[in-house]
């Protein structure tokens, strides 16, 4: 068996499936030099057998429209699930695992929402369930957490996990354009979908974070418990103001281990420009990890695309073919414990506020008074110089304060008569 | 056997050995949760049994002064070589492999100079030879090249592989101090040895590069064939001048695959400040890889230190304990082919020159004339404004030119009577 061809049943011949097929074709000899075996896509499951395809199927692969024909084929060693979505992918993966077939998937949404069940099923049937491609495209973050940093307790993980959002924020930063214009541009370039909800509202990053939390902490953190804020409300004004203070605004997916309790969430935040994460621009992804032994480590690369994601799928296939499949989750017991989530209200960090106020005497004193009553101490304030009849922005940077205090202070401030627009509020990393 | 304790024979109880022992002690339960087995250091080989130790030996480990007692102990599963140096380490590793014991080592010099022999020996005895800790400390670059990017042809690899040099250059850049002052500071902080040759002359980075070339290309590139230039000649003047042009000077270890021929070397170079590698400051390391499928990927972290390097040693131990040891080199045939090195003279890049000239009319025209005759086209020139009786610097940035042409032009220019000091020359990445 070790010397034989590795036979792949590929479900879905879209961008990533096409990328995988291309790498297998272009680097056939190289892969054999690495693995000692050939990898061949022998069967491809497609939705519509008669559709004109952008991606040509591998020449010696049989096309099928039937899931049963793919997962039930005794001549297939590994099933690669690249159809995306939830229901069909769920059915395909569970059926394949029940047949004892190992599965490679890039499906972050499915793993975030049904991961614990799927990992238990894979363990029951002694099958591999590999998912390097589900987070951050070609960046080897899954293997790094599962294997390379296996001896470390992960103290924190800070990721830029959505390339579309990072592209939009980078364009707003570099070219001073509005969110809508940057989004339109991302759509024109194919970075963003026609319905950008999953990206710009932070859900895609949250799916990926849920997958990483499991790998880093060994606990199941329920996806629905993750606090998620996207980038829809970010305005060019705040990006420029943050820049002037020496920060970049990025959409961050973060996990912090607070003595065993997990604090996690997705939110836009200000990152100091000297921080290497602040240099992650355009459609790139990065994950910054703080391990108790290794200290800070960062991995950077392309978070999407046919060939980068195909490269990650291929590394999983090669691992499974080598029998490197000691555990799917990175823990001996694939049935993980439930996480103990710490409410994000208890997060302590510095904060950025932009108030839009009617320009009259005493405003600053009232605002800072309310903050003081809520234990929020102010580090910097910028107010428009000239008196004006219109509403003007006042920007505060605070020292460390608890999110609960911040929310209480903001609720009180929102009620003041001189506040003329909703306050913008971001955490500072 | 799988359920039993993994018994480690540790050779060398210095910085990294102490780090490994500390992680095993602090994260004992965590490691068992990951691996399902306990890892215990059962025997430690030390040079002098009676020496007062900075690092306390693990409490239940037996100390020995005899190599035979370590490698010959049937109760030891894995030998960890952390004594460094060449001869004793060579003897220890070959003896352990001949006993069929797997070996984990952090010894880059040994792998660079005797790697091909050691990998062949390990293959002959069916033993593992793992070396994640030999390059870039805790950064998982070995596993990434061997496994995560296994389906990629590596088109180029650009590393900042020596933390001492990077610290020195960062201090010179940020604080405008001289090489000597920055070196002294690095020595005071324990980053640099009393004899800094291995670091500042580039040999340490070259050892690491030789290890990475094998992993990336599947070829043995003879260490003695690597062109190596260190940072001893780098002056604060050039660092400042480079900064003014928008560059940082870093010590670079580079591999480029030119249609199967390998171009490799260690040299100080100017990196555009917008490049993420330019943000790798202080004692940090990073490796930037360009794979044909994955595109650009960068890994960043601490390149040295007890716990980061101990973390890498531990990941190798865990891999070996899991039986993830399909091949030591990352290729089925551990006896690699010889590399086909491309002479560095054929490298094409942009260049930085600083000439020190007597300030008289016609100098610029003569210099640019000679460059033109050697196919070197000039992109930018900066000359001191005011006439002066003293020798003055003239800085040129060129367009792409072949190193051979550059060397010929510089040889001709050196002979001119108005050249008053040796010319400084760096490549621009």
What CATH number is given to the structural domain containing B113? Answer: 3.40.50.720
Rounded Cα gap, residues A11 and A17, in angstroms: 8
Contact list in A for residue B292 (CB cut-off 8 A) is 26-27, 307
Whether residue B252 has pLDDT greater than 70:
yes
Identify the CA nearest to A281 among candidates A163, A136, A193.
A163
**The predicted structure's pLDDT at residue A334:** 87
Confidence of residue A387 (pLDDT cuts 50, 70, 90): low
A108-117, A160-169, A183-192, B110-119: which range is least confident on average?
Answer: A183-192
Q: Find all residues with CB under 8 Å of A143, minimum gap 6, and list them.
A: A132, A315, A319, B140, B143, B144, B147, B148
Q: Kindly determine whether residue B293 and residue A315, on different chains, have CB atoms separated by under 8 Å.
A: no
Chain B residue at shortest CA distance from A145? B140
**The predicted structure's pLDDT at residue A78:** 97
Instruction: Tell me, yes or no, whether B335 lies in a domain.
Output: no
Q: How many CB atoms lie within 10 A of CB B38?
A: 15
Domain boundary among A302, A325, A358: A302
Give the CATH number, domain containing residue A262.
Answer: 3.30.360.10
Select which of A108, A143, A146, A208 is catalytic: A208
**The predicted structure's pLDDT at residue A48:** 86
Examine the domain organization and report whether B174 and B271 are in the same domain: yes
Examine the domain organization and report whether B104 and B178 are in the same domain: no
Structure confidence by residue, pLDDT tens digits, B378-420: 999 998 766 677 899 999 999 999 999 999 999 999 999 999 9
Whether residue A2 has pLDDT greater than 70:
no
Whether residue A172 has pLDDT greater than 70:
yes
**What is the share, in percent, of chain A residues with pLDDT greater than 90?**
89
Chain A residue at shortest CA distance from B330? A34
**Distance (Å) from the alpha carbon of A335 to chain B's nearest alpha carbon:** 12
Q: Find all residues with CB under 8 Å of A419, minimum gap 6, and list them.
A: A355, A356, A357, A413
Whether residue A373 has pLDDT greater than 90:
yes
- Domain count for chain A: 3
Domain boundary among B270, B303, B336: B303
Q: Kindly determine whether residue B27 and residue A322, on different chains, have CB atoms separated by under 8 Å.
A: no
Q: Is the separation of the CB atoms in A249 and A238 below 8 Å? A: yes
Confidence of residue A35 (pLDDT cuts 50, 70, 90): very high
**The predicted structure's pLDDT at residue B1:** 40
Tell me, what DSSP letter sits at residue A228? B
Q: Kindly determine whether residue B150 and residue A279, on different chains, have CB atoms separated by under 8 Å.
A: no
Give the CATH number, domain containing residue B370.
Answer: 3.30.70.260
> How many CA atoms lie less than 13 Å away from A410 in the CB half-sphere?
20
Mutate to test the interface with A, among B32, B34, B37, B303 (most CBs of A within 10 A): B34
Mutate to test the interface with B, among A287, A293, A305 (most CBs of B within 10 A): A293
Whether residue B346 has pLDDT greater than 60:
yes
Work out the average pLDDT over A310-330. 93
Q: Which residue would you say has higher pLDDT here, A55 or B68?
A: B68
Structure confidence by residue, pLDDT tens digits, B173-198: 999 999 999 999 999 998 888 899 99
Whether residue A279 has pLDDT greater than 60:
yes
Examine the domain organization and report whether B164 and B296 are in the same domain: yes
Identify the CA nearest to A7 among candidates A49, A44, A53.
A44
Contact list in A for residue B293 (CB cut-off 8 A) is 19, 23, 27, 138, 307-308, 310-311, 314
Q: How many CB atoms lie within 10 A of CB B347?
A: 21
Instruction: Tell me, yes or no, whether B229 lies in a domain.
Output: yes
Q: How many CB atoms lie within 10 A of CB B95?
A: 17
Q: Kindly determine whether residue B308 and residue A318, on different chains, have CB atoms separated by under 8 Å.
A: no
Phi, psi of B398, rounded to the nearest 5 degrees: -105, 165
Contact list in B for residue A285 (CB cut-off 8 A) is none
Examine the domain organization and report whether B354 and B283 are in the same domain: no
Q: Find all residues with CB under 8 Å of A155, minimum gap 6, and list them.
A: A256, A257, A290, A291, A292
**The predicted structure's pLDDT at residue A166:** 97
Q: What mean pLDDT value characterizes chain A?
A: 95
Instruction: Tell me, yes or no, whether B317 lies in a domain.
Output: no
Select which of B62, B208, B279, B404 is catalytic: B208
Work out the average pLDDT over B196-223. 96
Contact list in A for residue B147 (CB cut-off 8 A) is 140, 143, 315, 318-319, 324
Examine the domain organization and report whether B106 and B31 are in the same domain: yes
Is A62 among the catalytic positions? no
Q: Kindly determine whether residue A323 and residue B326, on different chains, have CB atoms separated by under 8 Å.
A: yes
Structure tokens at B217: 């290309």
Q: Kindly determine whether residue A315 and residue B147, on different chains, have CB atoms separated by under 8 Å.
A: yes
Q: Kindly determine whether residue B23 and residue A311, on different chains, have CB atoms separated by under 8 Å.
A: no
Chain A residue at shortest CA distance from B322? A326
Instruction: Tell me, yes or no, whether B143 lies in a domain.
Output: no
Whether residue A381 has pLDDT greater than 60:
yes
**Distance (Å) from the alpha carbon of A157 to chain B's nearest alpha carbon:** 14
Examine the domain organization and report whether A188 and A273 are in the same domain: yes
**Distance (Å) from the alpha carbon of A79 to chain B's nearest alpha carbon:** 18
Instruction: Tell me, yes or no, whether A135 lies in a domain.
Output: no
**The predicted structure's pLDDT at residue A198:** 94
Whether residue A204 has pLDDT greater than 80:
yes
Chain A residue at shortest CA distance from B132? A148
Rounded Cα gap, residues B69 and B82, in angstroms: 16
Mutate to test the interface with B, among A147, A154, A292, A330 (most CBs of B within 10 A): A147
**The predicted structure's pLDDT at residue A52:** 82
**Distance (Å) from the alpha carbon of B403 to chain A's nearest alpha carbon:** 30
Chain A residue at shortest CA distance from B287? A299
Examine the domain organization and report whether B183 and B283 are in the same domain: yes
Q: Kindly determine whether residue B300 and residue A298, on different chains, have CB atoms separated by under 8 Å.
A: yes
Q: Kindly determine whether residue B326 and residue A322, on different chains, have CB atoms separated by under 8 Å.
A: yes
Quote the domain boundaries for residue B218.
158-303
Q: Which residue would you say has higher pLDDT here, B49 or A256?
A: A256
Rounded Cα gap, residues A33 and A371, in angstroms: 64
Where does residue A256 fall: left (phi above 0), alpha (psi -120 to 50 degrees), or beta otherwise? beta
Q: Kindly determine whether residue A315 and residue B148, on different chains, have CB atoms separated by under 8 Å.
A: yes
Contact list in B for residue A312 (CB cut-off 8 A) is 148, 294
Chain B residue at shortest CA distance from A137? B294
Length of chain B: 429
**The predicted structure's pLDDT at residue B281:** 94
Nearest 5 degrees, angle CA B164-CA B165-CA B168?
A: 90
Structure tokens at A197: 């909800």
Q: Kindly determine whether residue B149 and residue A140, on different chains, have CB atoms separated by under 8 Å.
A: yes
Q: Kindly determine whether residue A292 and residue B150, on different chains, have CB atoms separated by under 8 Å.
A: no
Domain boundary among A302, A328, A357: A302
Contact list in B for residue A301 (CB cut-off 8 A) is 294-298
Q: From the list A140, A144, A294, which residue is nearest B307 (CB)?
A: A294
Rounded Cα gap, residues B278 and A204, in angstroms: 30
Chain B residue at shortest CA distance from A281? B276
Which 3 state secondary structure label does DSSP give A396?
A: strand
Instruction: Tell me, yes or no, whether A330 lies in a domain.
Output: no
Q: What mean pLDDT value characterizes chain B?
A: 95
Identify the CA nearest to A70 among candidates A46, A50, A87.
A46
Structure confidence by residue, pLDDT tens digits, A44-78: 999 888 888 888 889 889 999 999 999 999 999 99
In total, the C-beta contacts within 8 angstroms joining chain A to chain B are: 204
Examine the domain organization and report whether B276 and B352 are in the same domain: no
Instruction: Tell me, yes or no, whether B311 lies in a domain.
Output: no
Examine the domain organization and report whether A171 and A276 are in the same domain: yes
Mutate to test the interface with A, among B19, B37, B148, B277 (most CBs of A within 10 A): B148
A1-5, A364-368, B274-278: which range is least confident on average?
Answer: A1-5
Examine the domain organization and report whether A102 and A233 are in the same domain: no
Mutate to test the interface with A, among B8, B39, B140, B293 (most CBs of A within 10 A): B293
Whether residue A324 has pLDDT greater than 80:
no
Element (H, E) at A96: helix A87-98
Q: Kindly determine whether residue B298 and residue A299, on different chains, have CB atoms separated by under 8 Å.
A: yes
Contact list in A for residue B298 (CB cut-off 8 A) is 298-301
Which 3 state secondary structure label does DSSP give B218?
A: coil
Examine the domain organization and report whether B288 and B198 are in the same domain: yes
**The predicted structure's pLDDT at residue B383:** 84
Contact list in B for residue A130 (CB cut-off 8 A) is none
Chain B residue at shortest CA distance from A39? B151
Examine the domain organization and report whether A54 and A183 are in the same domain: no
Instruction: Tell me, yes or no, whether A310 lies in a domain.
Output: no
């Amino acid at each position: 068996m070790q010397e034989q061809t590795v036979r792949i049943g590929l479900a879905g011949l879209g961008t990533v499936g096409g990328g995988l097929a291309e790498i297998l074709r272009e680097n056939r000899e190289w892969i054999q030099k690495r693995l000692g075996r050939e990898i061949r896509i022998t069967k491809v499951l497609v939705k519509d057998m008669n559709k004109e395809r952008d991606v040509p199927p591998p020449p010696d692969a049989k096309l099928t429209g039937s899931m049963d024909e793919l997962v039930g084929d005794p001549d297939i060693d590994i099933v690669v699930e690249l159809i995306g979505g939830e229901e069909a992918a769920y059915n395909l993966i569970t059926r394949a695992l029940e047949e004892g077939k190992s599965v490679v998937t890039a499906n972050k949404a499915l793993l975030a929402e049904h991961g614990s069940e799927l990992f238990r099923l894979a363990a029951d049937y002694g099958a591999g369930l590999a998912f390097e491609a589900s987070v951050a495209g070609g960046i080897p973050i899954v293997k790094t957490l599962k294997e390379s940093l296996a001896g470390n307790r992960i103290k924190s993980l800070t990721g830029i996990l959505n390339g579309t959002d990072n592209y939009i924020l980078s364009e707003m930063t570099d070219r001073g354009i509005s969110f809508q214009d940057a989004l339109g541009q991302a759509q024109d370039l194919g970075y963003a979908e026609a319905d950008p909800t999953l990206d710009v509202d932070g859900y895609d990053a949250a799916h990926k974070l849920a997958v990483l939390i499991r790998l880093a902490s060994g606990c199941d953190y329920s996806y629905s418990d993750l606090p998620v804020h996207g980038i829809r409300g970010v305005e060019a004004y705040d990006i420029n103001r943050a820049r002037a203070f020496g920060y970049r605004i990025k959409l961050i997916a973060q996990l912090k281990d607070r003595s065993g309790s997990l604090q996690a969430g997705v939110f836009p935040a200000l990152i100091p420009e000297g921080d290497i994460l602040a240099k992650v621009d355009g459609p790139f992804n990065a994950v910054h990890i703080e391990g108790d032994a290794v200290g800070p480590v960062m991995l950077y690369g392309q978070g999407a695309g046919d060939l980068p994601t195909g490269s990650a799928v291929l590394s999983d296939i090669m691992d499974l073919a080598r029998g490197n499949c000691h555990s799917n989750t990175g823990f001996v017991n694939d049935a993980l414990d439930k996480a103990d989530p710490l409410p994000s209200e208890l997060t302590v960090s510095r904060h950025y506020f932009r108030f839009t106020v009617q320009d009259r005497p005493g405003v600053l004193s009232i605002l800072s008074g309310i903050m003081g009553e809520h234990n929020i101490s102010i580090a910097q304030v910028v107010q428009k110089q000239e008196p004006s009849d219109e509403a003007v922005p006042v920007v505060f940077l605070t020292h460390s304060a608890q999110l609960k205090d911040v929310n209480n202070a903001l609720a009180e401030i929102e009620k003041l008569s001189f506040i003329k627009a909703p306050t913008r509020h971001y955490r500072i990393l």
